[in-house]
Structure 1
Amino acid sequence: MKGYDVGELRLRKELSVIPDYKAGKAAPSATGGEDMFKLSSNENPFGPLPSVVEAVAEHVGAINRYPEMAASALTAAVAERYGVDPAAVVFGSGSVEVVSQLIRATAGSGDEVLFAWRSFEAYPLLVLAAGATPVRVPLNEDFGHDLDGFLERITERTRLILLCNPNNPTGTMLGHEEVERFLERVPSDIAVVIDEAYVQFNRRPDTADGVRLFKKFPNVAVAHTFSKAYGLAGLRVGYAIAPESLASALRKVAIPFGVTQLAQVAALASLRAEAELGERVDWIVGERDFVVDSLKKKGWRVPDAEGNFLWLPLGAATVEAAQILEEHGILVRPFAGEGLRISIGGPGAADVIVKAVDALADKGLTGGAFEHASQEAAQR
């Protein structure tokens, strides 16, 4: 406006230290291309089941209406599925928004939130956005959570602890007994969240069971998502199972109408089709185990993987290795200076992964992830 001084907008100073969230690199085309596998995001490579598509299609004509905020039908189904009170179930637009609710409901300026590092990349961003202080607890030498390290970092300012099981991006899991011992030592006024975004892919019988822990400890909450195993990443629906007081607080900080009616319908239909979806999950787990076992036999140091992805700790060679893998037909998720996360893709992807990683060894791009050449590798 003429005669009016225009200065820079006044934004929150804290935001200047928050880096942008980096999504997995997109493939050259929307479909990924005939010769390219997009393995940079932890997506389910299969589309939704026909029954889920049909259920969604029946409700498309009503998208002029607001969704039911309480998601009552879906809430009842989840509560029955896990044997919990419906009042303990709170939904959000994906588990990342649910984790954001958990952070904002428990921590603010001057408070601290503990999580493993490296773990889910959004954790520190969400903590900083809430005005709280992120406390990164280094992983142990096996790329898993160092629970003793967590206990050492608990202070009077600690308000929330995030445990990612299986851990993204390293794929390692927490044992049930070790988490129980840990929770017995955590002050009961500190909320502990078991983030189980990849729980359906976790086949370890001794793994920490978030819902069992929720039922035993009054300060434990669980975060789940329909994005991974259920293949609904594009519709954004996740939920927390939390103690009553925390669940009530989550609803206060949740985005109103954050879970669309189409997302609710798709999630409910997916729960009803769990047996059929389970076959797809079994296939993905089989492909994951094939890739991990193949690479270990060749001498690669690959942590045991319990998600729908695997981790290659390549250190300084990470970025260059990601470029080489792209040249060999796969897009992966590089974490500069640390390692690569490779998601499991559709049919044919597993063989391409193994061959592409062979190319890294041929070029000497192994970082600290190559231990020895096995007899099988020597005979290739």
Structure 2
Amino acid sequence: MAPAFRFRSDIDSLPAYVPGQRPPAGRSAYKLSSNENPFPPSSAVLSAVIDAAADLNRYPDMAATALTAAIAEHVGVDAERVVVGNGSVAVLETVLQAACRPGDEVVHAWRSFEAYPIAVQVAGARSVPVPLREDGSHDLDAMADAVTERTRVVLVCSPNNPTGTVVHEDEVRAFLARVPREVLVVLDEAYVEYVRDDAAVDGLALAAEFKNVLVLRTFSKAYGLAGLRVGYAVARPRLARGLRTALTPFGVNALAQAAALAALREADAVAERCDRVVAERSRLLGALREMGWSVPESHGNFYWLAIRRHSASFAREAAGSGAMVRAFDGDGVRVSVGEIEGNDLVLRLAEDWLALERSRAL
């Protein structure tokens, strides 16, 4: 008898992507586990989705022409430099599949976005993780040292998920000076709208200046469209053309295109909501530090508690108290900035936790 079909042998060894916890059925809880926008869609966005739903029997615009043009105008580039996809993760997957051959290497910081090693392995390449610094930031010197003749792509996440740190313009420029021009550097800026550090890298400027830099952005976070999946890349025209060719046809559905267009028209409202999240983030970080926590300076809509081996138990206690947070067992806990009541609940837990740890140390 002929052997049954099997997928590639390495598929079974893929690390599992663990989504943020959701409240159990029939029970309410604050969901602070997925870095979602706590504000619901505006009436204009909802109306755009309802109107687009009337044509669900038709395929969407495969090139997302109107949305591509609107994004290009919003970020100040030519439309030929923008490529829209089904969330920034899907765009990244296409980048890696188009760039990598079996045996190639992809360098990235760790811990960083947990989809990276999965996407790298599916593309047939090998992850080269480089440890973060003690403060949760990228060690770009060590990442440059990790580049070899087999390296095809380097992933830089800024703000870094889950620690919230940003890379600075000067250090990225020094890094790019060491990276061969045939290596693609991807700047993942999923949380860029929450950045308030004047020294942070300007990914769009670098993508205009360097032929081997590509920027990823998303509508899932600041724009609150996580349920519809819209992301995009900005790169030099040659890179954008190649990426556009490799994307899945009709990858961005009609409802998502309509919602993203409507959201872009509300730039002032989006900025105001981001400012509210940033203000709440500052309050939370200040309160935690006043308690005695050492917390990285976050520039996302979340913060990081480096609890290490106690991460899972902290998350269980939070869930029992009515707040879902995201544990990365052995490393730490990422907490999204959400509703004030949920934020305060986690603050109380963090204070009690620290007091208990101090009493154990006596």
Coordinate RMSD, CA, aligned = 1.7
Equivalent positions of 1:309-348 (< 5 A) are 309-348=302-341
Residue 215 (structure 2) aligned to one of 202, 219, 222: 222
TM-score under structure 1 normalisation?
0.92
Q: C-alpha deviations, 1:192-223, integer Å up to 9, x for none?
A: 01100000011111100100111111111100
Residue 275 (structure 1) aligned to one of 250, 253, 268: 268
Structure 1 residue 108: deviation in Å? 2.0
The 3 A distance-change label for structure 1 pair 19 and 8 is: farther
Residue 14 (structure 2) aligned to one of 18, 21, 25: 18
Q: Distance in 2 between matches of 1:301 and 1:362?
A: 14
Structure 1 residue 47: deviation in Å? 1.0
Retained in 1: the 8 A contact 2:208–2:235?
Answer: no
Does residue 59 (structure 1) correspond to residue 59 (structure 2)? The answer is no
Partner of 2:124: 131
Partner of 1:259: 252
Q: C-alpha deviations, 1:25-84, integer Å up to 9, x for none?
A: 111248x71xx2111111111111111111111111101110001111111111112222
Partner of 2:66: 73
The 3 A distance-change label for structure 1 pair 45 and 6 is: farther
TM-score under structure 2 normalisation?
0.96
Structure 1 residue 6: deviation in Å? 7.9
Does residue 104 (structure 1) correspond to residue 102 (structure 2)? The answer is no
Does residue 145 (structure 1) correspond to residue 138 (structure 2)? The answer is yes
Q: Distance in 1 between matches of 2:22 and 2:246?
A: 32
Aligned residue type for 2:66: A
Structure 1 residue 262: deviation in Å? 0.8
Retained in 1: the 8 A contact 2:218–2:230?
Answer: yes
Structure 1 residue 283: deviation in Å? 1.0
Retained in 2: the 8 A contact 1:325–1:357?
Answer: no
Partner of 2:243: 250
Partner of 2:278: 285
Does residue 359 (structure 1) correspond to residue 327 (structure 2)? The answer is no
Partner secondary structure for residue 363 of structure 1 = helix
Aligned residue type for 1:227: S
Q: Distance in 2 between matches of 1:315 and 1:109?
A: 34
Retained in 2: the 8 A contact 1:317–1:365?
Answer: no
Residue 188 (structure 2) aligned to one of 188, 192, 195: 195
Residue 306 (structure 1) aligned to one of 290, 296, 299: 299
Structure 1 residue 331: deviation in Å? 0.8
Retained in 1: the 8 A contact 2:83–2:234?
Answer: yes
Q: Distance in 1 between matches of 2:271 and 2:145?
A: 39
Matched-pair identity in %? 47
Partner secondary structure for residue 149 of structure 1 = helix
Structure 1 residue 364: deviation in Å? 2.0
Partner of 1:9: 5
Structure 1 residue 322: deviation in Å? 1.1
Q: Distance in 2 between matches of 1:123 and 1:212?
A: 24
Q: Distance in 2 between matches of 1:347 and 1:316?
A: 28
Retained in 2: the 8 A contact 1:226–1:233?
Answer: yes
Partner of 1:122: 115
Q: Distance in 1 between matches of 2:90 and 2:79?
A: 19
Does residue 185 (structure 1) correspond to residue 181 (structure 2)? The answer is no
Partner of 1:377: none
The 3 A distance-change label for structure 1 pair 15 and 205 is: same
Does residue 294 (structure 1) correspond to residue 290 (structure 2)? The answer is no
Retained in 1: the 8 A contact 2:15–2:117?
Answer: no
Structure 1 residue 253: deviation in Å? 2.2
Q: C-alpha deviations, 1:228-262, integer Å up to 9, x for none?
A: 00000000000000122221221232111110011
**How many residue pairs align between the two structures?**
361
Structure 1 residue 350: deviation in Å? 2.1
Q: Distance in 2 between matches of 1:106 and 1:42?
A: 29
Q: Distance in 2 between matches of 1:299 and 1:67?
A: 52
Partner of 1:48: 41
Q: Distance in 2 between matches of 1:321 and 1:359?
A: 11
Retained in 2: the 8 A contact 1:105–1:246?
Answer: no
Q: Distance in 2 between matches of 1:345 and 1:56?
A: 25
Retained in 1: the 8 A contact 2:137–2:166?
Answer: yes
Aligned residue type for 1:208: V
Q: Distance in 1 between matches of 2:271 and 2:231?
A: 18
Structure 1 residue 114: deviation in Å? 0.7
